[in-house]
A and B are shown apart, each in its own frame.
Chain A
């Protein structure tokens, strides 16, 4: 039992050290684990590109991701991936290329955090959304993505047409 407890504590410490600042109590995993899970489950990927110590990430976590229904919506219907914008941890892109988490920011041309990226289960980017967003915003993005509207409309067209 002590061995199991020690292992669990070590895992928690590792998760804290590596994953930096995802919202608490969400099942965020690293990029490679998220991609693997998405391929198996067929769920889209919600990638949170955050920065350690980022004030706007903290604000989003407290104001938006604290919403219980949003947590359930995203935990149930997405593979949740957290990427640390300044980390040297490596990940494998769907192409097979291995880069650091920080280098993913270069590929995304990330100019601010938080940055939220929606991806297909195969890892193709659907859209990326920078900055603080509300619970309602994330509900709209969810309808756009899981409803498949991105295949026919831009996000602006979709949002402009919502009732």
Chain B
């Protein structure tokens, strides 16, 4: 059962360009019943990041607050509990974060950096981002500390000590029920884009990276270096599990497909599982996101245009495969509905946000809550 759809952003227009893009597609969080949504738009003449909150028991989102002062991109948000959030974003070439409400923005690093993401779990708060390290960017993970209303960085370190040999980016983080930290990212060390993953039992020492994809790199008849896969997302799932969902072009004639891999009870990511059903096979998928909770519910959301225009789709994990794809009623039909971000709350309710594009009226950020029947 779905709630009535709400509009999140208060400013729209044909020349206002609104984006929900971020590392791990971490654009929504639920904290003590309050829903927080972050995005970027250019209403003030340059790209800026905003956060809007719908307090528990309020019917609508409050007016958004601006998080940034100068050009801002790819904001993310996680819940601290009791209606508080931590937001992070890229601003003026460095990643920053703050507690909301209240709190002052801090730089997470003094180095040129981008594509920040956040994760909370087992009483800890982590951030990851892509940071310039010589010629290329590499993935860095930080432990953040919250003291009252103040945010700080207690430890920052790269996932790998060695300098990157090609580009790394778009990290995703998840903290499993036992406190183990998983980080996934796009990696080009094999001369094409491969989602890689590394795990740490304490958030300090990360294991050597492994591939998320079970498809090997290699040229085809001496050409190229391998098929592409991009934008890995992670979620904690069940008591100890972690799930990954990403876009994968192994079937290179039909665009990106949505693939997943699961960690169960500390067993490493295994076989890759196709998420979309057969009706989406000959269609390119975009903006995939893994969504899980500690109760063991796991799903993926994304958009594709199998019915003629972009719609938001959802598939639930059924224990051995993902189920039939379902179009979200308010996020499907005529017009373009795309770029979903979503989170499950403590009650198992799904909170979903997406873009509803209209060339004349502009883009609305829409929100619904789904309650299991």
Contact = CB atoms under 8 A, between A and B. Distances in A.
Nearest to B170: A88
B305 A100 contact: no
Interface string B282-297: 0010110000000000
B226 A53 contact: yes
B19 A99 contact: yes
Contacts of A52: 188, 191-193, 225, 228
Given A13-B135, A98-B47, A53 B167 contact: no
Nearest to B284: A111
B286 A106 contact: yes
A8 interface: no
Select the residue from B227, B230, B305 with max chain A CB neighbours within 10 A: B230
Contact of A53 (B47, B170, B191, B284): B191
A54 B228 contact: yes
B15 A96 contact: yes
A103 B167 CA distance: 18
Interface stretch (A25-33, A56-64, A153-161): A56-64
A86 interface: yes
B252 A86 contact: no
Given A52-B193, A53-B192, A85 B21 contact: no
A51 interface: yes
B254 interface: yes
Residues of B in contact with A, size category: 35 or more
A18 B136 CA distance: 10
Contacts of B255: 110-112
Contacts of B115: 88
Given A90-B73, A111-B254, A97 B17 contact: yes
Nearest to A18: B167
B230 A102 contact: yes
B17 A112 contact: no
A139 B272 CA distance: 42
Given A52-B193, A55-B223, A97-B17, A85 B228 contact: yes
B311 interface: no
A106 B249 CA distance: 14
Contacts of A152: none
Interface string A3-37: 00000000001000100000000000000000000
Contacts of B42: 96-98
B186 interface: yes
Contacts of B169: 88
A54 B24 CA distance: 25
- Give the contact-size bracket for chain A: 20 to 34
A59 B191 CA distance: 16
Contacts of B249: 51
B110 interface: no
Interface in B190-225: 190-193, 217, 219-221, 223-225
Contacts of A51: 192-193, 228, 249
A96 B254 contact: no
A98 B21 CA distance: 12
A109 interface: yes
A51 B228 CA distance: 8
A83 B226 CA distance: 18
A102 B286 CA distance: 10
Contacts of A55: 219-221, 223-224
A99 B363 CA distance: 15
B135 A17 contact: yes
B114 interface: yes
Contacts of A113: 252
A58 B188 CA distance: 17
Given A96-B15, A97-B17, A99-B19, A53 B228 contact: yes
A88 B17 contact: no
Closest 8 CB pairs of A and B: A53-B192, A55-B224, A53-B225, A111-B255, A97-B17, A55-B223, A58-B223, A55-B220
Given A52-B193, A53-B217, 16 more contacts: A51-B192, A52-B225, A53-B228, A54-B192, A55-B219, A55-B220, A56-B223, A58-B219, A86-B193, A90-B73, A95-B15, A102-B231, A106-B287, A110-B255, A110-B284, A111-B254
13 contacts: A52-B188, A54-B192, A54-B224, A56-B223, A56-B224, A57-B224, A58-B219, A58-B223, A88-B169, A100-B21, A110-B284, A111-B284, A112-B252
